[in-house]
Amino acid sequence: MRKAQLTMQDIADRLGISKSTVSRALKDHPDISDETKQAVVKLAKELDFQPNTLALSLRQKKTNNIGVIIPEIVHDFFAKIITGVQEVAYNSGYNVIMCQTNESYEREKTDINALFSSRVDGMLISVAKETEDFSHITNIYNKGMPIVFFDRSCDLIHTSKVVTDDFDGAFQATEHLINQGCKHIAHLLGPKNLDISISRLEGYKAALTKYGIEINENLIVKCGEGTQEEAARVTDLILEEGDTKIDGIFANNDMAALGAMQSIKKHNLKIPDDIAVVGFSNWQLAEIVDPPLSSVSQSAYEIGIAATKLLLKEIESNENEEIKPETKVLKPQLVIRASSQKKK
Amino acid sequence: MRKAQLTMQDIADRLGISKSTVSRALKDHPDISDETKQAVVKLAKELDFQPNTLALSLRQKKTNNIGVIIPEIVHDFFAKIITGVQEVAYNSGYNVIMCQTNESYEREKTDINALFSSRVDGMLISVAKETEDFSHITNIYNKGMPIVFFDRSCDLIHTSKVVTDDFDGAFQATEHLINQGCKHIAHLLGPKNLDISISRLEGYKAALTKYGIEINENLIVKCGEGTQEEAARVTDLILEEGDTKIDGIFANNDMAALGAMQSIKKHNLKIPDDIAVVGFSNWQLAEIVDPPLSSVSQSAYEIGIAATKLLLKEIESNENEEIKPETKVLKPQLVIRASSQKKK
DNA sequence: ATGAAAGCGCTAACAA
DNA sequence: TTGTTAGCGCTTTCAT
């Protein structure tokens, strides 16, 4: 700040009263006379007085800030979560400090320590892909920092968490394909080291089993990191060299689904009539591509809302009462679009 | 914080020295003996001491935080800007506090005041669409808060700003279409109340003029807020009722370009051979749609970098020296994809 | 109804 | 080389 800042002392001086009176008047303390109150409020408004919340926070040992650790803002999914977080926080008088780790462990460590140093009242964390050692998180947890994980959690730490029911989403998607008449449904698998990939695979298998369709391991194919190109390539293989003629694809994510669609079109097959396609995540692109892509929506906004509510509850709970961690599993919703609705 | 926090006093007590010695030891002050230093550092590490930056900030009248006011995180464009901002800030030892206004004036006012109250060292601001009264910004500016505008600025306040050269981008796009052989290029116009819409229109006109192509006002059509549906609708009209057969479209933004593409396909015309299309903003969708969409890239990341550098320069400048505001105009780059490359 | 004073955790001028 | 003290701006207990 270039200029000296305006303080309560300044207001007090001008009015010939003490700064404690100013403080009380500003928070409408019953002891203060109406006359004094009005004078103070008037002058404060005139001078556009903004109290220094640093001093307040230091004094009260409470900042009314919460920190959010997020891997990547540019992902629709996380951006929507943030929006949910800010909504709840804002309405409860909290500010949100966001840090983007770019999936880097080092960055995550630094960010979390910085948030701790600035004494946020609690943290919402989605861990970076790189992170395997969680001591930076257990450290602050042990010091009493309220933490809620969202989307990507860490089982080592016994806190509240909010996650998507990936199994259920995959089940819904696969069941929908079956209901559309698909008998030979391929699955484009995500990276095996992520829990979500496994859960989605399990959901896919469970749906097939429920409807008495045999699981064909040849139709379950890895597509690396799940990029469009990789997905297109593996779909090419399925269509050209596979011994089974498929009529449906459930992809681990929307980018992969898109790659599959490109491959299908290239082979002059029709979507959805020859092959129906369903993705996962319901990114913006899903409604934009041609044909619009059916996809499992993870209700990111709701995840943000739920996680923040849990965190604020914890922050505002009485110090004495023991908080028992809750795990909220949000059911995803299948959004059906043209890519999977076969004409009957 | 549930538990009492660890302070320098605690460390001092355990070591039987004073807290000022601890403070000095921790910042490697030359006066302190190596012996003491090592003891302090060792204990601090053991106890995982994290200094309270609130106290530091209050004392130093410097928070090392910068605030960012952004309309919508979910837009690729802004998300990328943020990434650039965080990059520069992080490397210079600053933290970033982001606020999302959701294009609301009220929210913007509250956010800016909250940032001021928390004594951020400076602010990066992109104003909300709703904002017409700027007194909340002039207020803090007059109190000495360093401010840099990005993308959407406010001419009333004489600060540094970083913006895209929309005129140039539109010019490049239109010139490219002309070079591809287009003679009748339509322009899908953005909302007239935004400066950017006007600049892009002007760039379009200037390119036509340069190449001796007459400006046909019938080919300059509004498409409301620029959504896909609206763009598709107006394109339908041009194709069905227009008296000119067009061979190129320059759209004010990518969503509108997409709508135009849908309309063109519906009319069984080929992109780019019958009609070439160029959009603006180079959103992710541009490379995903079919055919991939040529688009003017605004180099959002660079905007974030440039704005933050300007702000930090201002923050770190000597109080006495007068800062003269700079305006950085970043040239956008046309990214040419299949939607506009006619076979010769 | 108001004021004086202590203290939140840290730094820095001044003393020793 | 280290300690003492004052003070950043605010709240709050205890006096008055």
Nearest-angstrom CA–CA distance, B128 and B116: 18
Tokens encoding A79: 């951006």
Q: Is residue A272 part of a domain?
A: yes
| Residues near chain D strand, CB within 7 A | A 4-5, 7-9, 19-20, 23-24, 26-27, 51-52, 55-56, 58-60; B 16-21, 24, 30-33, 35-36, 55, 58-59, 61
Q: Is residue B30 part of a domain?
A: yes
Facing residue for A95 by CB, picked from B114, B258, B262 = B114
Closest chain A residue by Cα to residue B262: A290
Same domain, A177 and A142: no
Which of chain C's bases lie under 7 Å from a protein CB? 1-5, 7-13
Q: Is residue B228 part of a domain?
A: yes
Same domain, A285 and A233: yes
Rounded to a whole number of angstroms, the distance from the CA of B330 to the nearest CA of chain A is 21
Facing residue for B53 by CB, picked from A1, A98, A117 = A117
Nearest-angstrom CA–CA distance, B250 and B265: 16
Find residue B150's DSSP bridge partners.
Answer: B162
The mean pLDDT of B288-307, rounded to a whole number, is 94
- Report how far Cα A321 is from the mean position of its chain's Cα atoms: 28
The mean pLDDT of B234-245, rounded to a whole number, is 91
Q: A8-15 and A19-26 are packed helices; what angle lies between their axes, rounded to 10 degrees?
A: 110
More confident residue, A7 or B193: A7
Is the pLDDT score of A256 beyond 50?
A: yes
Rounded to a whole number of angstroms, the distance from the CA of B232 to the nearest CA of chain A is 13
Same domain, B47 and B79: no
| Lowest mean pLDDT across A96-100, A223-227, B30-34, B164-168 | A223-227
Q: Is the pTM of this model over 0.75?
A: yes
| Residues near chain C strand, CB within 7 A | A 12, 16-21, 24, 30-33, 35-36, 55, 58-59, 61; B 4-5, 7-9, 19-20, 23-24, 26-27, 51-52, 55-56, 58-60
How many angstroms is C1' of D2 away from CA of B7?
A: 19
Nearest-angstrom CA–CA distance, A188 and A239: 13
> H/E element holding B236?
helix B228-241
Same domain, A260 and A289: yes
Q: A76-91 and A300-316 are packed helices; what angle lies between their axes, rounded to 10 degrees?
A: 40
Tens-digit pLDDT profile for residues B305-332: 999 999 999 999 866 567 789 999 999 9
What are the chain B neighbours of A55 within 8 Å (beta carbons)? 58
- Minimum CA–C1' distance nucleotide for A49: D9
With distances taken from each CA to the C1' atom of nucleotide D8, the closest residue turns out to be B59
Is the pLDDT score of B1 beyond 50?
A: no
The mean pLDDT of B160-174, rounded to a whole number, is 97
More confident residue, B343 or B128: B128
What are the chain A neighbours of B3 within 8 Å (beta carbons)? 143-144
What is the share, in percent, of chain A residues with pLDDT greater than 90?
82
Give chain A's mean pLDDT. Answer: 93
Is A1 in contact with B53 (Cβ distance < 8 A)?
no
Give chain B's mean pLDDT. Answer: 93
Is B50 in contact with A113 (Cβ distance < 8 A)?
yes
Q: Is residue B40 part of a domain?
A: yes
Same domain, A204 and A100: no
Tell me the count of A-B CB pairs closer than 8 A: 136
What are the chain A neighbours of B99 within 8 Å (beta carbons)? 86, 95-96
Q: What is the pLDDT of residue A1?
A: 43
What is the share, in percent, of chain B residues with pLDDT greater than 90?
82
Q: What is the pLDDT of residue A234?
A: 95
Is the pLDDT score of B292 beyond 70?
A: yes
Is the pLDDT score of B196 beyond 60?
A: yes
Same domain, A192 and A293: yes
Q: What is the pLDDT of residue A321?
A: 66
Q: Is residue B57 part of a domain?
A: no
What are the chain B neighbours of A143 within 8 Å (beta carbons)? 1, 3, 5-6, 48
Residue B95: band (very low, low, confident or very high) from pLDDT cuts 50, 70, 90: very high
Q: Is residue B206 part of a domain?
A: yes
Question: What dihedral do alpha carbons B224, B226, B229, B235 form, nearest 10°?
Answer: 80
| Lowest mean pLDDT across A162-171, A244-253, B152-161, B305-314 | B152-161
Facing residue for A50 by CB, picked from B1, B76, B113 = B113
More confident residue, A244 or A318: A244
Nearest-angstrom CA–CA distance, A311 and A89: 10
What is the CATH classification number for the domain harbouring B27?
1.10.260.40
Q: What is the pLDDT of residue A226?
A: 78
Same domain, A294 and A170: yes
Same domain, A108 and A214: no
Q: Is residue B56 part of a domain?
A: no
**Residue from B54, B117, B137 whose CB has the most chain A CBs within 10 Å, to mutate:** B54
Domain count, chain B: 3
What is the CATH classification number for the domain harbouring B87?
3.40.50.2300
Same domain, A310 and A279: no
Tokens encoding B326: 């700079």
Of B285, B272, B282, B290, which is closest to residue B339 (Cα–Cα)?
Answer: B272
Same domain, B47 and B193: no
Closest chain A residue by Cα to residue B121: A1
Q: What is the pLDDT of residue A285?
A: 86
The mean pLDDT of A107-113, rounded to a whole number, is 95
Nearest-angstrom CA–CA distance, A253 and B189: 35
Facing residue for A58 by CB, picked from B54, B86, B285 = B54
- Report how far Cα A216 is from the mean position of its chain's Cα atoms: 33
What is the share, in percent, of chain A residues with pLDDT greater than 70?
98
Range(s) of the domain holding residue A22: 8-51
What are the chain A neighbours of B102 within 8 Å (beta carbons)? 83
Is the pLDDT score of A3 beyond 70?
A: no
Q: What is the pLDDT of residue B321?
A: 66
Is the pLDDT score of A273 beyond 60?
A: yes
Of B258, B253, B149, which is closest to residue B194 (Cα–Cα)?
Answer: B253
What are the chain A neighbours of B141 within 8 Å (beta carbons)? none
Rounded to a whole number of angstroms, the distance from the CA of A136 to the nearest CA of chain B is 10
Could you give the residue ranges of the DSSP H alpha helices within chain A?
8-15, 19-26, 34-47, 53-60, 76-91, 105-117, 135-142, 166-179, 195-210, 228-241, 254-266, 285-288, 300-316
Same domain, B185 and B271: yes
Q: Is residue B179 part of a domain?
A: yes
The mean pLDDT of B163-177, rounded to a whole number, is 97
Cα angle value A210/A214/A216 (rounded, 5°): 130
Same domain, A210 and A294: yes
- Using only C-alpha atoms, chain B has a radius of gyration, in whole angstroms, of 27
The mean pLDDT of A252-261, rounded to a whole number, is 94
